[in-house]
Amino acid sequence: MIIFCILAFLLFTINLPALALDWNDKEWASCPRTVEGIWISDNPDSMKRKTLNIQKKRINLTLNGDGQVLFTGNAFIEKEKFVEMVLESITKEKEVFIKLRPHMVQTSLDSENRVDCRIKVFRFNSHANAKFDKYSSWDINQLKRN
C-alpha cells in the first residue's frame, strides 16, 4: 500500500514537458518553412470562421462570412517554437497578441495524397499574458490549399 501511495504521489507531482511539433521537425517538412500563407479556422461548425492571412510583413485577421478585416499587423517575431504577432483592431481600439506553433500534419487518403498542415493559434489579451503564456483562447487553423 505504501509503495502504491508513493507511486501515485510521484505520478501526479512530476511535471513532464509536453512534446510539441516544431518548425524544423521532419514531420513538418512537407509543410511551408515559414508561416506565410492563408490559414483558415479548422472549426467547420463555427458560423464565424476566421482567416489569418500572413504575408511577408503584413497580417490580416478576417471573418470568412463577410471578408471584413477585424485586426491587422505589420510584423511578427519568430521565437523558438512560436511565432509571435501583435494585431491592432481596424478601429484602433484594441490590440490582440497571438502566438502560432505547428500543430499537426495529416496526409489525405485521396488519390493525390495531399498534406494538410495545421497550426495552433493562441490569443492573449495583453502583452503580459502573452509573455507568461496565459492565453485567453486558442484555435486550430489549416493552410488553405491552392
Helices in the chain by DSSP H: which ranges?
2-13, 127-131
pLDDT digits (tens, 9 = 90+) for 30-70: 887 778 888 888 776 655 677 888 887 778 887 765 667 77
Backbone Cα Rg of the chain: 18
Asked if residue 122 has pLDDT above 70, the reply is yes
Residue 10 domain-assigned (yes or no): no
pLDDT digits (tens, 9 = 90+) for 60-82: 887 765 667 778 887 677 776 77
Number of independent structural domains in the chain: 1
Residue 6 domain-assigned (yes or no): no
Domain that holds residue 107: 17-143
Residue 124 domain-assigned (yes or no): yes
Residue 42 domain-assigned (yes or no): yes
C-alpha cell at 22: 516544431
Nearest to 133 by CA among 81, 89, 94: 81
Residue 1 domain-assigned (yes or no): no
Residue 49 domain-assigned (yes or no): yes
Residue 94 domain-assigned (yes or no): yes
Residue 110 domain-assigned (yes or no): yes
